[in-house]
Amino acid sequence: MNEKKTMLSGIQPSGDLHLGNYLGPMRHWPGMIETYDCFFFMADLHTITVRQDPAQLRKRTLTQIAQYIASGLDPEKCTLFVQSHVPAHAQLGWVLNCYTMFGELSRMTQFKDKASKHSENINAGLFTYPVLMAADILIYQPDYVPVGEDQRQHVEICRDIAERFNGIYGDVLRVPEPYIAKVGARIMSLNAPETKMSKSLPEGCVFLMDKPEDIMRKFKRAVTDSDTERCVRYAPGEKPGVSNLVQIYAAATGKSFEEIESEFAGQGYGKFKPAVGEAVVETLRPIREETERLLADKAYLESVYRAGAEKAGCVAEKTLRKVYKKLGFLAR
């Protein structure tokens, strides 16, 4: 019997991976593969809620697989796959649509946010997106879902959907817990620290494949705060810019906020900003180099995602059959 707990997470290949994706959930993943049965995927089905360039999407999906491996996910020890290669996600997604309420989807902050940004394309997929995400999760019956803070609400609705389903059909779906780290779960934009770091604000966003000189430039230009004390201190309410840098430095080096405050005591921001930049350069350097090496070996990457789809497909099919049976669908 398999006693290992299960863990699952995914990232949309809708843009290049950035420091928020890495310091939020991704950096924790490699440490989990020894202890948990892990599934990590490229959430390509989710990307088309917003228009994508097909060639770019294909390229980014492959790059993302390489980045997963380069950041320490050994494909021999966990399952890496592309969401669209496992049809059971969309199949369970349809089922769960019928167990999710219009009202609860209307309350999703990310829907409201994206709908206002893409007012010319408020499609049904954008609205039901959290249901597909619930299917992504529930189909593997994970115990934990490691994500950044912005995905908490989606994991919560996934739990609600699972509980509703179980309330009708018995104990069918495992109700997962979100796994959200204390440090790094909400990395803010470097030039607008009141906004989350995201690819849509590229100047305030550090991408995993950025060259060291670009990373250093972005950190040197990072917005700090116009307070008079000019000391390095973690106080997000008062000093959002500096606190974001402290958080990034803490996540990149493993140092505590107190250690960082005393390291830079009396030094102002002039030394601190390049120090954070250097810590990030050194954190990302091996990932970038290994990604570049892996991207030159397309046959290997192909073998990884094919094997991953095979393994993930078996687990997902099993859950789907169980759900179909409970619903009363005639077995094939």
Give the Å distances, CA to CA, from 147 to 61, 121, 156, 163: 19, 27, 12, 20
Q: In Å, how far from its chain's centre is CA 316? A: 20
Return the axis-axis angle of helices 272-295 and 54-70, rounded to nearest 10°: 110
Residue 298 annotated as catalytic:
no
Contact call for residue 240 and ligand TYM (CB under 6 A)? no
Task: Kindly state whether residue 141 participates in binding ligand TYM, applying the rule CB under 6 A.
Answer: no
Catalytic residue of the set 112, 182, 199, 311: 199
Report which of 72, 38, 68, 41 is spatially closest to residue 143, judged by C-alpha positions: 38
Question: Can 196 be counted among the known catalytic residues?
Answer: yes
Under a CB-based contact definition with an 8 Å cutoff, are residues 60 and 46 in contact? Answer: no
Q: Candidates 12, 61, 79, 244: give the one binding ligand TYM (CB under 6 A).
A: 12
Nearest distance in Å: CB 115, ligand TYM: 15
Report d(CA 76, CA 61) in Å as an integer: 20
Q: Is 199 a catalytic residue?
A: yes
Annotated catalytic residue: which of 5, 59, 114, 318? 114
H/E stretch holding 189: none
Cα gap 151→250, rounded to integer Å: 22
Q: Is 32 an interacting residue with respect to ligand TYM (CB under 6 A)?
A: no
Question: Rounded to the nearest 10 degrees, how much is the dihedral formed by the CA atoms of 10, 16, 21, 27?
Answer: 90
Contact indicator for 154, 130 with CB cutoff of 8 Å: yes
| 40 vs 269, beta carbon nearer ligand TYM | 40
Which residue type occupies 229? E
Binding segment toward ligand TYM, per CB under 6 A, in 6-14, 219-227, 267-275, 282-290: 6-14
The nearest distance, CB 220 to ligand TYM, in angstroms, is: 20
148 makes contact with ligand TYM (CB under 6 A):
yes
Instruction: Decide whether 60 or 196 has the Cβ nearer to ligand TYM.
Output: 196
Residue 112 CB, shortest distance to ligand TYM, in Å, is 15
Determine what percent of the chain falls in helix, strand and coil, rounding each to the nearest 5: 55, 10, 35
Quick check: 60 binds ligand TYM (CB under 6 A)?
no
Residue identified by tokens 């950096």 is: 27
The 186-225 site mask, x for binding ligand TYM (CB under 6 A), equals xx--------xxx---------------------------
Residues designated as active site: 114, 196, 199
| Binding region for ligand TYM (CB under 6 A) | 8-12, 20-21, 24-25, 43, 46, 133, 136-137, 145, 147-148, 150-151, 154, 185-187, 196-198
